[in-house]
Structure 1
Amino acid sequence: MIDPAILDRVAQTIEARKDADPATSYVAKLLHEGQDKILKKIAEESAEVLLAAKDGDKSHVVRETADLWFHCMVLLAHHDLGPQDVLNELRRREGISGIDEKAARNAG
């Protein structure tokens, strides 16, 4: 069963940990170290997704994608955004050709 509310719960947890002690909270530590640290983690997790996919291990792909999504959510929180902002953008794009959507972005 799909539970889209999980994204909201994870976002709420990330938000709650923004002001936590970086010594006891991984999220607080990432946010405290700043955007460059978060971006580095996203790059690392992206590479791990690619390697897992190359290996063809579906469970590993899922685990690494979860790590990537989590770190992307930390980046969203860093910018005072959340999963609903991304879902709204996906909803806006729904039914639009990817080619047309990209052309519209490049025209602006």
Structure 2
Amino acid sequence: MKPQSASSSLKNPVKFRMPTAENLVPIRLDIEIDGQRFKDAFTWNPNDPDSEVVVFAKRTVKDLKLPPAFVTQIAQSIQKKLLLSRFTKRIRESPILRS
């Protein structure tokens, strides 16, 4: 049996765009609920599905043993920042502003 090279064994290579500083969105969270505070800062790949935001929020709340109310607040905060980033990007790329 003839061994296959890595390139020949991939019939349909997966297209993957490596996140870079230009396409990552900085996220800063500062949420307080019932006297408990959650602060964090990280970058997010806006090309990830929106469902990943909720998964991230649930995992964060579970890992840090935060009250369940934080799930919604964390997810909504991230989604708002991603939406604002997408909107800002569209404005910058608008042909009206380029002229």
The verdict on a shared fold, with TM-score over 0.5 as the criterion, is no
TM-score tier, shorter chain, comes to under 0.3
TM-score, with length taken from structure 2 = 0.27
Q: Which has the higher helix share?
A: 1
Q: Which has the larger radius of gyration?
A: 2
Compare relative contact order (CA 8 Å, sep 6+) and give the higher one, 1 or 2.
Answer: 1
